[in-house]
Structure 1
Amino acid sequence: MKPFSPLRESDYDRALELWPSELMRRVKNVMVFPTWVEGEERFWIKVDTNKGHEFLVVDASTGERKPAFDHELVARALDADAAALPILHFDYLWDGSRIRAQVRERESWVEIDLNSGELADVRGPSPTYLMGPDGRELFVKQFNLWIREPDGTEKALTEDGERYFAWGSMPDHNYSGVIRDRESASMVPTGTSWSPDGQLVLTQQTDERHVEGYPYVEWTPADGSPRPKIHHVKMRIAGESEDSVRRWYLLDTKTGARTRVADLEEGIELDITRGQWWWSPDGGTVYTLASNLPSEDGALVEVDTASGDVRTVFREHSATFFGFNTFTDHAPNVRVLHDRGQAIWYSQRTGFGHLYLLDLATGEIVRAITEGEWAVFDLLLVTDSTLFFAGGREDGVSNPYYRHLYRVDLDGETANSNLVRLTTEDADHGFIGAPTHFGATSPKAYLSPMRMQLSPSGEYFVDSISRVDLPTVTTLRRTRDGETIAVLAEADITSLTDIGWSMPEVFRSTAADGVTAVWGVLIRPRHFNDRESWPVLERIYGGAWTIAQPRSFAEGLNGPFMFGLHALADIGFVVAVLDGPGTPYRSKTFHDMTWDKADRWGIADHRAALEGAAAERPWMDLSNVGISGHSYGGYGTVMAMLLEPDFYRVGVSTSGMYDAMRSDGPTEYQLGRPLYEGGRRIKNSPEERPINWLKFSPEEYADRLKGELLLAFGNLDENIQPAALLSFVNALTAEGKDVDLLYMPERSHHYTTDPYLQKRLWDYFVQYVQRRAPVRHKPLGVVPGERLYRFG
């Protein structure tokens, strides 16, 4: 490793030129998404300009663009700058003479007359109610379901709901219960759906009265009280017998009559988080999805709305884990086609994620729609006879994580009937799957159902062509042949290159078996010189449900696991982000390679991949590698420090899952069901630990710690319980191991963008990897900023 000069305050200031919000400010048109005008082959986009941005409406058939409205007129109505209107979303109303808009920093939506400029505050789409087909709104109040009529009058649909026995609500433990309790926030009715005519509502009532509460102590309450507050969140810990019980009902919104939905087959229940409901046109039946806690099974079920009887149409079991999509946070790749009496089903049964045609009457697979040694990512659109989806490639050369658009016939006699890849460029094409019901109801922002790259007719698509090392070009194309109609926007990164920023580098290496291909990216400092030696850091995530590495240019700047990495690298590091075996978007074999192994996150594979990359890049110094990660990435960080202590020598772990026994049920998706002596699923005593989970526990390897480890946590973290961290610290203490703790007061799980945390992370690596003194007590002087998420 080369000797480093002493760190100076100016080094921090220079690195902050690449702070995430500064990166995004310095680029133009890296994310241009269309919102389609309902019933038309037109869409609007927001395009960056030298002065700000403008809204354009585009004719998809010709590519002709024109202003979406008179920007000066709208600016006067909003008392805003015409070159930088604070509009987040808008819809055309009536004949296009008005718009209804969501405006930044305004609680209500507004309607603006595009002829007179008259403005009125109105109620727009909201994450707190569910709009019915007849204009009525369904919402939750005082643990019951209520209906708001178009004239504003309200009536209770249920009256027997109470705390912990609530209608249409998420379980008390929903990863944000404490925050919502502090802020008195509400969400859209969950696990709830209107019938096509608005007569019926399918919903659920969750009984958690017998589930034990988990205490969270708010030491410095938000209301300023000097007395700490305790928030009890009803939560089942792995192995406990008492769990929430969910009962499903069909409610008649006119008469109030209730029909209980029958219990499903043993081992599965209706899936509350997916939010997928397919009603028959006459409302007589509704299809939905079912699964179980460890996700070993997935099923499509049919509910008779008159009797409440249930039929399992199709059920699939996996020896490891089953998913309705390779990425858990995206909507299932399942559709019910009522007019055909068929359904589309997703499965990895052949070794790769593919689509199948099911017969709804018999429950039999008619045929495979797609097949081959490549993976379907997201089902995007189904028309009368054509299916469009995003998928990858596994040809041994192409990056398998790049999203391509495919078209395939539904009526063919064999799989891959008239299969066409419409995006031929060696790049990512940005096709984003719809979020799950839970993701779509996030109160952060309104997500329009018309905001998609494919036109609703399936005739056109907006292609976002980019890589981490290729700035975005946004084009309008035809699905008939992939022909480009018009270039809509090209990214401008001049302001970044002017300050010496360079693009990340994509690399390919191999896992520990020396055969399996592993892909990732490297971020280098601006003053990088390949004749010098650079210390290496890794940002890690892991597990079966998502990937960490960026694919598009926008993700490369500030993707979900990229926050702050360009600034960190600029202090004098090369930072790697990669996805090893055990993660999705590849084959089922790749997905399962680390299943039930002590090295569940494939730490040996990460080490091998970095060593392979360094063999071709002598400037990568692997003598003192640092590693960091949050949540499951925090778990990966500590396991890296314990399983490969001679390689990973410095770690910063934030809110890691250190003890699965102290976590809630969803851990089972990653580790399998807990097993106790005699094959029991339920523990006999509070302290009993599942024997099949011991090998995953960092506590079991506490004696192996050699390097420097910083553990950060928030006391109100509902995703990863703080007690797990303290249990791990106890194990380290018993072994006489030194460890550093960073307590983030009154933080939940989501504090990784906090400048203070980022500064402490930088300093830890400066001190123990570069072995030089950081500048202490220096505030970074920036706002936290936000990470980009995959669904927009």
Structure 2
Amino acid sequence: MLGVALFVLSSTTTQLWSQGSLQDYEQSTNLRGRFHNKVFMAKIEPHWESNNQRFWYRHYLPNDRWKFILVNVEKAEPHPAFNHKHLAEKLSQMTGDEVDAEKLPIERLNFTDQENIIQLYAGQRAWTLNITNGNLRKITSEMDVPSSGQLENSLRATQRTGEETHIIFRNETEVPVQLLWIDHNGYQRHYTSIPVNQEYKQHTFVGHIWLLTDNKKRHFGIYEAQLHNTLVVVGGEPLKTNTVRPGSQTADPETVQSPSGEWLAWINQHNIWLRDENGKEFQLSHDGNQDHSYSQDSIYWSPDSQKLAAIRKWKSEEHLVHIIESSPNDQTQPKLHTFNYLKPGDRVEHQKPQLFDIELGTNIPIEPELFSNPWSITYLRWAKDSSEFFFLYNQRGHQIQRIVAIDANSGKAESVVEEKSDTFIDYSQKTYLNWVDEDHELIWMSESNGWNHLYLYDVPKRQLKHQITDGEWMVRKVEYVDEEKREICFQASGIYPEQDPYYIHYCRVNLDGSNLIFLTEGNGTHTIQWSPDKQFLVDTWSRVDKTPIHELRRAEDGKILCKLAEANWDELLQSGWQIPQRVLAKGRDGETDIYGVIWRPTNFDRGKEYPVIENIYAGPHGAFVPKSFHEYYHQQAIAELGFIVVQIDGMGTNWRSKKFHNFCWRNLKDAGFPDRIAWLRAAAIEHPEMDLNRVGIYGGSAGGQNTLSGMLHHSDFYTVGVADCGCHDNRMDKIWWNEAWMGWPVSSHYEDNSNVTHAEKLRGKRLLIVGELD
């Protein structure tokens, strides 16, 4: 799409220089390669000692060089881990290979019990090095001596696949340990069960993430595979975490065992069956059929094994979509593809909780009034005392969410938490619930006061205890909850009024709302890496106009201990890279701050006027103007053809106040255009090289819809557009995304927001791109 947009946008606007020539295009498309590997130390990877008092990292330098840095957190001063020149000489002598001191072939360092002794791994050789006197000793010709691996508790997806390796897992717990691989999408793939006091050797790849759990899916921790063979000892108790995160999947066994081990439940002919310890089987449910069925992933045993909750599902309607593949790889003739694709207004799958008494083998009727019209019923869980179970009810139309409690004996339903909105509840981005204090308390995320914050509910009393966080800023994500300390660590944006409100910072607060501490402070957006004991953090922050800075901070109070490194961009600037410019201007109301970025060509001449192109994506699920540093942005490729390219987040996009977000409600055609145009006009006053008599626009998917909408409703401003695979009528697109913002039931507002309805208004030059199989 970008290549087509480059051609159309450059061909349909007034030319500058040789704009649109073959040389221009070659220069534009080669920008990524031109800027590649011109920034050094943009990332940092700390490797911690087991006692969390030291860590090392590799510091990258220009010309494909590097050095190893050691940090003692008490002294808080980065310094070379050893004498690099001396070590290179020693390695050259002992291996017969020429070794460069600034290219030491070391794959990993390991700390030992002796503070001045470290292990080095290079190729298939292992060494010990005395970092005080430089003495180097070869351990073995093979790397078969496993080092000790330490489990972490920061659940994450696999990010890379390196060289082949293996891990030995030793189970020193009192229960079987389940081994799961967390793939690149975050899904959990079950591999094996490791018996008590047994070892298991797992083939893997460097960088792969492995999760260790018990049979109840409680986590012992994760381990990231390293190049050298590692022994990972699993011991102690599972971590205390009840946080439920969407999207987590595991391989389901053929049966679901009760906690007592007395019963096995499974699905047979759409119904639930049970088998006792003696092998006797009987049918528990009798109302399942092809259209109204139970499923194995929706069976939930009570902790005392006396009750069983399940979800019975009524099928959604069938909405078949037919697309033609004109040139398939496996045949000469075109191929027809048909699949089910629900659209706004279609009948969705209807979920209904069911409750069974195991001893009596009967169904206990549940009061249905509190969950009569579900979009979804999720997060089902039992109280620890088996007296009731809970679930999250999201009503069709997304204007009501409830935590519903069902009494295990009577089937009576009560509302624990109820959320209502006159517009929409942003369930896809801002749902968070975490049960604490033996299920007596619930941490809940809500925008009920106009900003996204955390609240603490008293579950037995069915009432709010207090608001945990408050202010004109937003909680973005909960990092973790420490139940023992009764603390929450979370990501937030907008906490520093003088900074861009989209920048992500890290904070900690007590569950009672006291002692709010900002752990990060640099004027940019942040990511952090914890020490294994979470007593320290490595904070990396950057902006589009500032390279990453890495700092060591104390987790107790966020105090900076030392600056570790700052990325070097000298070679990038020497290559002609133009620093993106952050611009703040007022929106349609003259009061609301609107944020955007400007990109210019590498041969930018401030004395010339340039046509302006807006890259638009106004999907309400997010905010899209980049906030962190990258050596290449795709907008630069278009700018290189002689344009000024901008990207703006207008009203109706996410991660500001609820009022800001609400502009999208049943109003996707708005797309923040009044704010975008106001921003562009203000920017052009400050930067007269921007020629607003020549403004183009492009975008894909929702951005394609926005592009055409801009040309329909603001044709006096946008005169050229390229819309790629746009959803030009929200009644034709996927059900979840469109009903999230346009609501349900489908009414005249869908028609009014359709680009088709307003096609007669189309002016200017445009290209509409549609994917044949999209």
Please tell me whether residue 129 in structure 1 is matched to residue 189 in structure 2. Answer: yes
Relative contact order higher in (CA < 8 Å, ≥ 6 apart):
1
**CA 1:575/1:262 → structure 2, altered by over 3 Å: closer, same or farther?**
farther
Structure 2 counterpart of 1:541: 617
Structure 2 counterpart of 1:749: none
Q: Contact between 1:270 and 1:288, CA under 8 Å: does it hold in 2?
A: no
Q: What amino acid sits opposite 2:431 in the alignment?
A: P
Candidates 635, 640, 647, aligned match of 1:577: 647
Q: What amino acid sits opposite 2:744 in the alignment?
A: R
**CA 1:16/1:392 → structure 2, altered by over 3 Å: closer, same or farther?**
same
**CA 1:125/1:698 → structure 2, altered by over 3 Å: closer, same or farther?**
closer
**CA 1:29/1:8 → structure 2, altered by over 3 Å: closer, same or farther?**
same
Range with bigger deviation, 640-649 or 394-403: 394-403
Structure 2 counterpart of 1:425: 522
Q: Distance in 2 between matches of 1:597 and 1:512?
A: 16
What's the offset of the Cα at 1:613?
1.0
What's the offset of the Cα at 1:668?
1.5
1:431-470 correspondence runs (5 A) = 453-454=529-530, 458-470=534-546
What's the offset of the Cα at 1:282?
6.3
Q: Contact between 2:620 and 2:664, CA under 8 Å: does it hold in 1?
A: no
Please tell me whether residue 349 in structure 1 is matched to residue 448 in structure 2. Answer: yes
Structure 2 counterpart of 1:27: 39
Q: Distance in 2 between matches of 1:156 and 1:93?
A: 41
Q: Distance in 2 between matches of 1:209 and 1:423?
A: 47
**CA 1:35/1:287 → structure 2, altered by over 3 Å: closer, same or farther?**
farther
Q: Distance in 1 between matches of 2:713 and 2:465?
A: 47
Structure 2 counterpart of 1:590: 660
What's the offset of the Cα at 1:523?
1.1
Candidates 166, 172, 177, aligned match of 1:110: 166
Candidates 11, 24, 45, aligned match of 1:11: 24
Q: Secondary structure at the match of 1:430?
A: strand
Structure 2 counterpart of 1:243: 348
Candidates 732, 742, 761, aligned match of 1:671: 742
**CA 1:37/1:333 → structure 2, altered by over 3 Å: closer, same or farther?**
farther
Please tell me whether residue 232 in structure 1 is matched to residue 338 in structure 2. Answer: yes
Please tell me whether residue 711 in structure 1 is matched to residue 768 in structure 2. Answer: yes
1:35-434 correspondence runs (5 A) = 48=60, 51=64, 67-69=108-110, 73=121, 75-76=123-124, 95-96=148-149, 110-111=166-167, 124-126=181-183, 127=187, 129=189, 133-134=213-214, 157-160=266-269, 206-208=313-315, 210-221=317-328, 224-240=330-346, 242-247=347-352, 265-266=370-371, 269=374, 271=376, 287-302=390-405, 311-324=414-427, 328-329=428-429, 332-339=431-438, 341-383=440-482, 384-393=485-494, 397-411=498-512, 417-430=514-527
Q: What amino acid sits opposite 2:718 in the alignment?
A: Y
Q: Secondary structure at the match of 1:265?
A: helix
Q: Contact between 1:461 and 1:477, CA under 8 Å: does it hold in 2?
A: yes
Range with bigger deviation, 381-390 or 352-361: 381-390
Alpha-carbon deviations, 1:64-107, whole Å to 9, x = none?
987455997475499xxxxxxxxxxxxx99833999x9796689
Q: Contact between 2:59 and 2:66, CA under 8 Å: does it hold in 1?
A: yes
What's the offset of the Cα at 1:643?
0.6
Q: Structure 2: where are the runs of 5+ without partners?
A: 1-13, 82-107, 111-117, 127-144, 170-178, 191-210, 218-248, 258-263, 271-288
Please tell me whether residue 630 in structure 1 is matched to residue 700 in structure 2. Answer: yes
Query: Which structure: greater strand fraction?
Result: 2
Q: Contact between 1:522 and 1:575, CA under 8 Å: does it hold in 2?
A: yes
**CA 1:570/1:297 → structure 2, altered by over 3 Å: closer, same or farther?**
same
What's the offset of the Cα at 1:259?
9.4
Q: Contact between 2:479 and 2:490, CA under 8 Å: does it hold in 1?
A: yes
Q: Distance in 2 between matches of 1:604 and 1:611?
A: 11
Q: Contact between 1:629 and 1:636, CA under 8 Å: does it hold in 2?
A: yes
Candidates 589, 613, 627, aligned match of 1:513: 589
Q: What amino acid sits opposite 1:421 in the alignment?
A: F
Q: Distance in 1 between matches of 2:40 and 2:181?
A: 29
**CA 1:134/1:345 → structure 2, altered by over 3 Å: closer, same or farther?**
closer
Q: Secondary structure at the match of 1:315?
A: strand
Q: Distance in 1 between matches of 2:54 and 2:383?
A: 29
Q: Distance in 2 between matches of 1:704 and 1:662?
A: 21
**CA 1:46/1:714 → structure 2, altered by over 3 Å: closer, same or farther?**
farther
Range with bigger deviation, 213-222 or 313-322: 213-222
Q: Secondary structure at the match of 2:757?
A: helix
Q: Contact between 1:41 and 1:60, CA under 8 Å: does it hold in 2?
A: yes
What's the offset of the Cα at 1:396?
6.1
Q: Contact between 1:381 and 1:458, CA under 8 Å: does it hold in 2?
A: no
Alpha-carbon deviations, 1:99-157, whole Å to 9, x = none?
9x9796689873379xxxxxxxx97445363689435998668xx95689xxxxxx994
What's the offset of the Cα at 1:394?
7.1
Q: Secondary structure at the match of 1:461?
A: strand
Aligned residues: CA RMSD: 4.7
Q: What amino acid sits opposite 1:419 in the alignment?
A: L
Q: Contact between 1:356 and 1:368, CA under 8 Å: does it hold in 2?
A: yes
Alpha-carbon deviations, 1:368-403, whole Å to 9, x = none?
222222222222232223222222237764211111
TM-score (normalizing by structure 2):
0.68
Q: Distance in 1 between matches of 2:46 and 2:391?
A: 29
Q: Distance in 1 between matches of 2:55 and 2:594?
A: 38
Q: Distance in 1 between matches of 2:721 and 2:441?
A: 51
Q: Contact between 1:44 and 1:55, CA under 8 Å: does it hold in 2?
A: yes
Please tell me whether residue 700 in structure 1 is matched to residue 757 in structure 2. Answer: yes
Candidates 643, 667, 670, aligned match of 1:600: 670
What's the offset of the Cα at 1:713?
2.2
Q: Secondary structure at the match of 1:661?
A: helix
Q: Contact between 1:211 and 1:243, CA under 8 Å: does it hold in 2?
A: no
Q: Contact between 1:45 and 1:55, CA under 8 Å: does it hold in 2?
A: yes
**CA 1:132/1:473 → structure 2, altered by over 3 Å: closer, same or farther?**
closer
Candidates 682, 687, 690, aligned match of 1:617: 687
What's the offset of the Cα at 1:504?
0.8
Range with bigger deviation, 599-608 or 277-286: 277-286
**CA 1:198/1:551 → structure 2, altered by over 3 Å: closer, same or farther?**
farther
Q: Structure 1: where are the runs of 5+ without partners?
A: 79-91, 114-121, 149-154, 170-188, 432-452, 676-689, 718-792
Q: Contact between 2:393 and 2:404, CA under 8 Å: does it hold in 1?
A: yes
Structure 2 counterpart of 1:551: 627
Q: What amino acid sits opposite 1:244 in the alignment?
A: E
Q: What amino acid sits opposite 1:529 in the alignment?
A: D
Larger Rg: 2
Q: Distance in 2 between matches of 1:61 and 1:309?
A: 57
What's the offset of the Cα at 1:9?
2.8
Q: Contact between 2:439 and 2:459, CA under 8 Å: does it hold in 1?
A: no
1:693-772 correspondence runs (5 A) = 693-717=750-774
Structure 1 counterpart of 2:135: none
TM-score (normalizing by structure 1):
0.66
What's the offset of the Cα at 1:11?
2.2
What's the offset of the Cα at 1:468?
0.9
Candidates 575, 588, 602, aligned match of 1:526: 602
Q: Distance in 2 between matches of 1:129 and 1:201?
A: 26
Structure 1 counterpart of 2:90: none
What's the offset of the Cα at 1:455?
5.3
Counting matched residue pairs gives: 614
Q: Contact between 2:542 and 2:629, CA under 8 Å: does it hold in 1?
A: yes
Q: Secondary structure at the match of 1:714?
A: coil
Q: Distance in 2 between matches of 1:64 and 1:307?
A: 64
What's the offset of the Cα at 1:211?
2.3
